[in-house]
Structure 1
Amino acid sequence: MAIPRWGQGAALVLGVCLAVVTVGTAPAASAESAPAAPANSTPTDFYAVPTPLPAGAPGDVLKSESYPPALAVPDQVGPWPSGAQRIMYRSTDAYGQAVAVTGTYFDASVPWSGGGPRPLVVLAPGTQGQGDQCAPSKLFAEVVHYTPPLDFSVEYETIQAYALLSRGMDVVVTDYEGLGTPGVHSYGDRRAEGYAVLDAARAVTRLPGSRIGGDSPIGLWGYSQGGGAAASAAELQDSYAPELNIRGTYAGGVPADLRAEAVTLDGGLGTGFLGYAVNAIYAGYPETRGEIDGVTSPYGREVLDDIATQCVTETIARYGLHRSSEWTRDGRSIAELIDALPNVRAVVDEQRIGRLTPRSPVLIAQGRNDDLVPYAQARTLADDWCRLGATVEFSIQEIPPIAPGLAVGHVLPAGTVLPYALNWMTDRFAGVPAPSTCNV
């Protein structure tokens, strides 16, 4: 079995707060976009992937359509964002094969005042779930997604996306591989998620009529699962997308070491997130299937199949505060099984972030008492990158332990660091030299 690198399900609480305080009226789509679907629709036809994929390069746009975001913020010149585009673009999986990935592009309706051309930020979302209904590009069109009895979602990444838009930065949010589109969501896969982030930036530069060009300044941004994806993208850029003008990466609550995550998540609210990762590795790495089948009990197989269809809230409700040992034939936990399964061990070890060098500055933010993503492994990531010569600022969020195991220590730092992260990213686009804590 394998383990995920992150979990951010409890941040849905923040999304609920946003839904209460923002205006839920849907504004009109932009003039140059295609006719928009109703805000509460689930456009399944859009997510049908062309078979075979047309020839092309990573980042090529396969299709796009406009739609009105369900939550809009009132402004003197009208609501913002004024509209959004779903995009389907070409990316690459962990084996180097072409795949289709979807996402959402928001063009900021407020001026960019930071100097120079308007920038683009690629927002890598935190844990959404593994069911196709959980894709952010679907949830941005709904104030609340609910299918009885427990399939409930609010797109909590609206908070970070709209904070960036309020600065005049355009934003693209990837759905990652297999979330919305056919196949199993590649939850926890370092390469697949990093490639999806980088190719989202490429896709925006290739959208017809896009004001973001090939030389536009770009930032990478994410927390929790998104922090891992953004961090992966930062260190993969040099080999995968060297042409992108990436000015900096904010990566918060970064789950860089799967082995540390195995112990921390098990038995807390995030136990069910383990199933997302097991499913992803089982689907993405055929050499692990015999090993996983050999240790998974019949009940464990039922759990994995169930989790594959769920969004994060339902997974927490059904499987949080349980133990992964309940899913195995001999009662061993996922953490205990990693070293016993050679192929799984190799896949898990390959996911560790920190072996490659980001070419642009990085801000790593980490709660000292994070109860989903251990502090020590984030500190190690910062040290690893410093040794490789990267410019890294490690920002410690000093929040006392609150209800350990219930994700409070993981969710709160996402909010406390947000104002600083926004200013940090604005400074990168302005050309201000990046601070570093590497010698502190």
Structure 2
Amino acid sequence: MPKVEAGQPVRKSRAQRAIALIVTTSTAVIVGALTGLGAATVTAEPLTPQVDPFYQPPAGYESQAPGSILRSREMHFLAAVTELPLKVQVWQLLYRTTDLHGEPESAVTTVLLPWGATPDKNRPLLSYETFYDSTNTACAPSYVLQQQNLLEGVAGGQTNIELMAITAGLTKGWAVSIPDHEGPHGHLGVDKEPGYISLDGIRAAEQFAPLGLAGKDTPVGVWGYSGGGMAGGWTAEMQPAYAPELNIKGVALGGPVPDLRAVLHVNGSLAASVIGIGIASLQTAYPKFGAVMDTYLTPEGRTKMETIRSRCLIPNVILDAFTDYQRYFTIPIPQLLEVPDIKETFDAVTLGNNNPGMPMYVYQAALDEIVPPATTDKMVEQYCAGGTPVQYQRDHLSEHTLLATYGMSGALNWLKARFEPNSPTPVGCHTEDQLSTFLNPDNDITQLQIWFDTARAALGLPVEPLFGPN
């Protein structure tokens, strides 16, 4: 294939971007149509995290160790949420964690086991970081997974694409933890906190007796894409100092958005909403950033940010497509980025400055219309310079939305290999340019198999073959 320079951006027309979005959305719709065939009985609407007592930590929780379980409940909603008649065991855990300022905080993770799974000290745990990408806590996976129909779930941001990845982990017999990695205040794109929350979610899952795991000896994998890739990146970077006892075998990151400033190039494009979502979140998370940003936002801009904070990912993407965010600022955006308090915050939330202590698998689309490949190249280079083993896959036929699905099989195969008993620890860094990871002949688990397994589950066919040794 022709040589592609590392990090060289590829320009795409609006039509190409729209086609890519339609293809990806069609995948979700197809799965959604299948899932509708096995719809479960609708029950009462769940309470939002703001009013649900389960989310409120008990008095004195601050004195508990990070990862301590504060409250738990068994759930029976998963079949209703996804409308997938998957027989899985589901619980939610409220646990003590740490916020981005180093103060005690609480968070929730949803943990799952294959149906009928018995205690197994060798069972791996997958921490799956979703790309819910919203400052509204009613868009968090723990709440969205309680919705009673597919449309509500998709509107909340828990897409069918991610449910395929979660199902894929369960079909391998793994336990799965799905943390609300943005915490109780919807902190998207911040530094440190997503890592603390995910690591403490792993600690909580390892302590939770019904999962039957081996405590801190449990083999753990972390996987996330896009906004979930950011959370996975912070999980990897924070682990050596914050949770060194965890046996994390590897972290898989797809399209991880290492530098939020670099996505500003999407202004006015189909993906323009990510600009507003990021700024709206950082405003609430960082007081100095918020105060300075307010001085440069127009009155219309301040109203716009409040509106964005009230919505979930999918509505923001649809309603803010092709928005020119420059109209909401009183100075040019490039000039805004050089304001000291703004620059300091963006510097702080950039991945690559803390070396992970475990092997990494990174996959990036060369045609990514949101995440400039050069930023992921730089992050990988920094990890490698610090001694972290990295397997880096660059896909030259996908863009951001397509790789969310097409990159699944590569990540799943890599995690599966990391979980093999006595699997050798990868060494060194390896970059591979592929025409398509979807077509990788070395994958013993293919994307077609993931789709097939998900469809079987959606159609209510016997689940036993899904939970075999493959």
TM normalised by structure 2 equals: 0.78
Secondary structure of the 1:251 match is strand
Secondary structure of the 1:269 match is coil
- Per-residue deviation at 1:284? 2.0
C-alpha distance in structure 2 between counterparts of 1:146 and 1:45, whole Å = 18
- Per-residue deviation at 1:187? 0.5
- Per-residue deviation at 1:211? 1.0
- Per-residue deviation at 1:145? 4.3
- Residue 59 of structure 1 pairs with residue 67 of structure 2: yes
Partner deviation per Cα, 1:357-406 (whole Å, 9 max, x = no partner): 22111000001101111111111111111111111000111216xxxxxx
Structure 1 residues 24 and 153, CA gap change in structure 2 (3 angstroms):
farther
- Per-residue deviation at 1:59? 1.1
Q: Confirm or deny: 8 A CA contact 1:39 1:141 kept in the other structure.
A: no
- The one-letter amino acid of 2:70's match is L
- Residue 20 of structure 1 pairs with residue 21 of structure 2: no
Secondary structure of the 1:193 match is helix
1:99 aligns with one of 102, 105, 118? 105
Corresponding residue for 2:340? 342
C-alpha distance in structure 2 between counterparts of 1:384 and 1:80, whole Å = 42
- Residue 412 of structure 1 pairs with residue 414 of structure 2: no
Corresponding residue for 1:3? none
Corresponding residue for 1:279? 280
- Residue 293 of structure 1 pairs with residue 291 of structure 2: no
Bigger Cα displacement from structure 2, 429-438 vs 312-321? 429-438
Corresponding residue for 1:372? 370
C-alpha distance in structure 2 between counterparts of 1:175 and 1:279, whole Å = 18
Q: Confirm or deny: 8 A CA contact 1:119 1:169 kept in the other structure.
A: yes
Q: Confirm or deny: 8 A CA contact 1:366 1:397 kept in the other structure.
A: yes
Q: Confirm or deny: 8 A CA contact 2:138 2:156 kept in the other structure.
A: no
- Residue 262 of structure 1 pairs with residue 268 of structure 2: no
Corresponding residue for 1:404? none
- The one-letter amino acid of 1:91's match is T
C-alpha distance in structure 2 between counterparts of 1:300 and 1:47, whole Å = 35
Bigger Cα displacement from structure 2, 137-146 vs 373-382? 137-146
C-alpha distance in structure 2 between counterparts of 1:439 and 1:424, whole Å = 14
Q: Confirm or deny: 8 A CA contact 1:126 1:224 kept in the other structure.
A: yes
Q: What is the root-mean-square deviation in Å for CA atoms of aligned residues?
A: 2.7
Segments of 5+ residues of structure 1 without an aligned counterpart are 1-7, 28-36, 401-408
C-alpha distance in structure 1 between counterparts of 2:425 and 2:322, whole Å = 41
- Per-residue deviation at 1:90? 1.5
Partner deviation per Cα, 1:320-356 (whole Å, 9 max, x = no partner): 21122121124x23x44111x2112111101111122
- Residue 176 of structure 1 pairs with residue 181 of structure 2: yes
- Per-residue deviation at 1:48? 3.9
C-alpha distance in structure 2 between counterparts of 1:88 and 1:41, whole Å = 16
- Per-residue deviation at 1:26? 4.3
- Per-residue deviation at 1:257? 1.6
Q: Confirm or deny: 8 A CA contact 2:222 2:251 kept in the other structure.
A: yes
Matches within 5 A, 1:110-149: 117-142=122-147, 143-146=149-152
1:155 aligns with one of 156, 159, 164? 159
C-alpha distance in structure 1 between counterparts of 2:181 and 2:301, whole Å = 26
Secondary structure of the 1:66 match is strand
Q: Confirm or deny: 8 A CA contact 1:145 1:153 kept in the other structure.
A: no
Corresponding residue for 2:229? 227
Corresponding residue for 1:50? 57
- Per-residue deviation at 1:243? 0.7
- Residue 422 of structure 1 pairs with residue 412 of structure 2: yes
C-alpha distance in structure 2 between counterparts of 1:58 and 1:170, whole Å = 21
Segments of 5+ residues of structure 2 without an aligned counterpart are 1-19, 432-470
Partner deviation per Cα, 1:35-89 (whole Å, 9 max, x = no partner): xx93753454245423645121211122222222023655xxxx332x3112222
Structure 1 residues 439 and 214, CA gap change in structure 2 (3 angstroms):
closer
- The one-letter amino acid of 1:137's match is S
Secondary structure of the 2:410 match is helix
C-alpha distance in structure 1 between counterparts of 2:294 and 2:84, whole Å = 49
Matches within 5 A, 1:373-392: 373-392=371-390
Corresponding residue for 1:308? 309
- The one-letter amino acid of 2:112's match is F
- Per-residue deviation at 1:146? 4.0
Identity %, equivalent residues: 27
Structure 1 residues 73 and 282, CA gap change in structure 2 (3 angstroms):
closer
- Per-residue deviation at 1:255? 0.8
Q: Confirm or deny: 8 A CA contact 2:236 2:251 kept in the other structure.
A: yes
